Structure 1
Amino acid sequence: MQGFAKEIVPLSDTFYEQSTLELAKALLGCILVNKSNEGIAAGYIVETEAYIGPSDRAVHSYNNKRTARTEVMYYRSGHAYTYLMHTHCLFNVVSGGEGNPEAVLIRALEPLFGIELMKDRRGIDDLTKLTNGPGKLTKSLGITMVDYGHQLMKPPLFIAKGFSPESISVGKRIGIDNSGEARDYPWRFWVTKNKYVSRHQKSEFVFETEK
């Protein structure tokens, strides 16, 4: 890979062996990279949501529902779980270990590399709106349903070490109003005060990360 990506190394499979809640926090500050025929695009992960099935009514694998769509969630941690929501492709990191259908949704990125390519793909120039949502970031990076099941430890789509957030905010997940008590679980995490977060709501709490 040319330029900045030459020094970027994918995280190993052991990184993904954390519990889903811990992984959702550990992913903050990491770099999501995708290389396509159009070029390389990348951004810092600044917002995530944890989905822990089969007891989590907000997750596709609720009640251990195993379908063609959720099959990859039963794989080893570190695979890409992509699915369509209306007309948007959403990108998730499979977690929980083999046989445990859990995942972390990547909700927002801070643009880092390939910004002009992102602008062309989205048809907008406002940097703060390029990747501040799960459907926006996949379009900006060129992530599609073709990436379903891809192992994130290797290119062209992978996650690399980035920065360590000074603090992380925690709150309720977004867009799951019909999921009973699960809608109130504080399983959304974001880099505190980051302007690229998809929605700035009052956090349940903020905690300082270890240095």
Structure 2
Amino acid sequence: MTKTLLLDYFDHRPTETMAQDLLGKTLLYHSPKGLVGGLIVETEAYLGQQDTAAHAFKGHRSQANEPLYGPPGTIYIYQRHGQFCFDIAVQAKDIPQGILIRGLEPTIGLDIMQQNRVRPTPYELTNGPGKLMQAFGIQDTTLNNQQMDHTPLTIDLDTYRLPQKIGSSARIGVRKNGAWVDKPLRYFVAGNPYCSKILKRDMDLNHFGWQA
């Protein structure tokens, strides 16, 4: 994906719109062990200075969250509760809004991801932000502040599936303080078993929530 496409895709649209539009797109990582990737099935939007749950709330800016202030397509990896999470800055430079990639349906390099993260239940392989980073083998912040068109971690906009239905809810794991905590800024492919916190009765094991 070229830089022009990244700028066109991530800039000039509401972050909430882009968080929903990313569902079904293919996230790829050219890892040292080989290519891994899959369809994005769950995202969360974070809306910068106004958002009480965002790392940039009230304009907070530090060396750690500086990637959020970068141009659209900038990688922001951070550690939370001992796990690494992957966020993408999606607005113009110095507008610190981002999208957290929360869940992934594996389609490429499944054997590599299983080696990186051994789980007894297949749907637990990448059904959370820390889990998918473990499966990819990304356990540091080396890629921080880089744009996705220049790194091994990128998004293929041309390889995608369309959700039958996009669900929304409050974000998961956010500290219960501030007016933005319960806003429905988490988006997911309804019925996809690789979404975090999905109940077994809600899983669509025939189509995984995708259109035919």
TM range (shorter): 0.7 to 0.9
Contact 1:80–1:150 under 8 Å retained in 2: yes
Does the alignment pair 1:156 with 2:152?
A: yes
1:28 match: secondary structure:
coil
Equivalent residues, number = 196
Deviation of the 1:164 alpha carbon: 1.8
Deviation of the 1:91 alpha carbon: 0.2
RMSD of the alignment, in Å?
Answer: 2.0
Contact 2:76–2:86 under 8 Å retained in 1: yes
Corresponding letter in the other structure for 1:14: D
For normalisation by structure 1, the TM-score amounts to 0.87
CA distance in 2, matches of 1:12, 1:67: 25
Deviation of the 1:126 alpha carbon: 2.7
CA distance in 2, matches of 1:149, 1:62: 19
Does the alignment pair 1:94 with 2:98?
A: no
Map Cα deviations across residues 54-105 of structure 1 (whole Å, 9 max, x no partner).
Answer: 0111011111011001111111111111001121110001122211111100
Does the alignment pair 1:12 with 2:6?
A: yes
- Where does 1:32-47 land on structure 2 (aligned, <5 Å)? 32-47=27-42
1:120 match: secondary structure:
helix
Alignment correspondent of 1:108: 103
Which residue, 59, 63, 68 being the options, matches 2:63?
A: 68
Alignment correspondent of 1:146: 142
Alignment correspondent of 2:50: 55
Does the alignment pair 1:187 with 2:185?
A: yes
CA distance in 2, matches of 1:129, 1:139: 12
Contact 1:13–1:153 under 8 Å retained in 2: no
Quick one: structure 1 residues 150 and 125, their matched pair in 2 at CA, closer, same or farther if it must change by over 3 Å?
Answer: farther
After TM superposition, the runs of 4+ consecutive aligned structure 1 residues lying more than 3 A away are 9-12
Quick one: structure 1 residues 119 and 125, their matched pair in 2 at CA, closer, same or farther if it must change by over 3 Å?
Answer: farther
Unaligned runs of 5+ in 1: 1-8, 202-211
Corresponding letter in the other structure for 2:33: E
1:21 match: secondary structure:
helix
CA distance in 2, matches of 1:67, 1:102: 15
CA distance in 1, matches of 2:79, 2:191: 29
Unaligned runs of 5+ in 2: 200-212
1:15 match: secondary structure:
helix
Identity of aligned residues (%): 34
Corresponding letter in the other structure for 2:60: K
CA distance in 2, matches of 1:36, 1:51: 27
Contact 2:44–2:101 under 8 Å retained in 1: yes
Corresponding letter in the other structure for 1:164: L
Contact 2:102–2:196 under 8 Å retained in 1: yes
Contact 1:34–1:142 under 8 Å retained in 2: no
Deviation of the 1:145 alpha carbon: 1.1
CA distance in 1, matches of 2:177, 2:137: 30
CA distance in 1, matches of 2:142, 2:120: 27
CA distance in 1, matches of 2:7, 2:26: 15
1:159 match: secondary structure:
strand
CA distance in 2, matches of 1:104, 1:113: 22
Deviation of the 1:155 alpha carbon: 4.2
